[in-house]
């Protein structure tokens, strides 16, 4: 069986800066993968290349066995994946329901299926009273929830979630965590980025840490937990455990 995600020497340059530098990733189906790294490490750039939103400067990307650099194969992969992209990329002048119908129709779902699934998800995410509002009028957390509903709508095999918990309230966070755990336990795959290490530690089965564009760690969560916490491992791997937090003396003077 093919891997859910496989990359070789995946590289993306912006001018003379290498944002993603020779990344070798293998994610097996049924994995809950946490992709971690400091700000600017290359996480979102990697997700964009994995989902066909951005072309690599070099290297290969295979998703669900399809070559993402081949246009017709990448289309087959895109039918089976769901994405929360970094910038959410919603359509501001549609209502939530109109937006979900639009996404559902792109995936070839019937209107009845879209309506039934949308109603269930919007209720689950406490958006059921907001369905007539334009997306433009949504708060940040509401936009994030709608983006998740859109990503799930087609019942994908693989979800790419760039910071799914950022900006959502505690109740929604719990709902999303349960939903994603059930999604993975049926054999589907989640690849997410998050800075909330407590959530990643609770949810993920595998972790990759990227820094300055290079994958510096790829391991199973149980191996990390056998020798301490994810936060300790993250700080060690990134060298942040040896740094002293600088002080702003002027801020400490009254
Ligand atoms: N379109 C772009 N043009 C130029 N540089 C870019 C572009 N997109 C990303 N970069 C650069 O690539 C590097 C990686 O950015 P990326 O957005 O992948 O980081 P990230 O790990 O997702 O960070 P964060 O945790 O802050 O979301 C950064 O140095 C960023 O400035
Ligand atoms: Mg990012």
- Among 18, 35, 43, 85, the mutation site with the greatest number of ligand 1 atoms within 8 A of its Cβ is 43
Tell me which residue has its CA closest to atom 16 in ligand 1: 42
170-185 and 140-152 helices cross at what angle (nearest 10)? 20
pLDDT score for 222? 96
Domains of the chain with bracketed CATH: 1-80+158-165+190-254 (3.40.50.300)
Per-residue pLDDT tens over the stretch 100-135: 999 999 999 999 999 999 999 999 999 999 888 999
At residue 64, the 3 state secondary structure works out as coil
Q: How many alpha carbons fall within 13 Å on the CB side of residue 88?
A: 22
pLDDT in tens, 157-184: 999 999 999 999 999 999 999 999 999 9
Q: What pLDDT score was predicted for residue 81?
A: 97
CA–CA gap between residue 6 and residue 28 (Å, rounded): 9
pLDDT at 246: 85
Check residue 247 and report its DSSP letter: -
Q: Is the model's pLDDT at 240 over the cut of 90?
A: no
Interval between CA 1 and ligand 1 midpoint (Å) = 33
């Amino acid at each position: 069986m093919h891997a859910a995600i496989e990359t070789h020497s995946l590289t993306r340059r912006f001018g003379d800066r290498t944002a993603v530098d020779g990344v070798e990733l293998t994610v097996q189906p049924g994995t809950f993968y946490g992709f971690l790294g400091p700000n600017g490490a290359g996480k979102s750039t990697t997700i964009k290349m994995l989902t066909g939103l951005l072309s690599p400067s070099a290297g290969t990307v295979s998703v669900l066995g399809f070559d993402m650099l081949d246009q017709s194969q990448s289309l087959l992969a895109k039918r089976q994946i769901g994405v929360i992209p970094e910038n959410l990329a919603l359509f501001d002048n549609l209502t939530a329901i109109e937006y979900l119908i639009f996404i559902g129709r792109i995936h070839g779902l019937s209107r009845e299926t879209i309506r039934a699934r949308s109603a269930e998800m919007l209720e689950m995410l406490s958006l059921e009273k907001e369905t007539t509002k334009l997306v433009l009028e949504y708060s940040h957390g509401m936009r994030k929830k709608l983006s998740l509903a859109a990503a799930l709508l087609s019942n994908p095999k693989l979800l790419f979630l760039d910071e799914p918990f950022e900006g959502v309230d505690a109740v929604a966070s719990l709902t999303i965590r349960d939903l994603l755990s059930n999604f993975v336990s049926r054999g589907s795959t989640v690849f997410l980025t998050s800075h909330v290490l407590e959530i990643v530690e609770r949810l993920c089965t595998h972790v990759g840490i990227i820094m300055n564009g290079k994958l510096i760690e790829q391991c199973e969560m149980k191996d990390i937990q056998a020798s301490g916490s994810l936060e300790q491992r993250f700080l060690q791997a990134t060298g942040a455990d040896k740094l002293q937090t600088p002080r702003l003396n002027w801020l400490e003077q009254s």
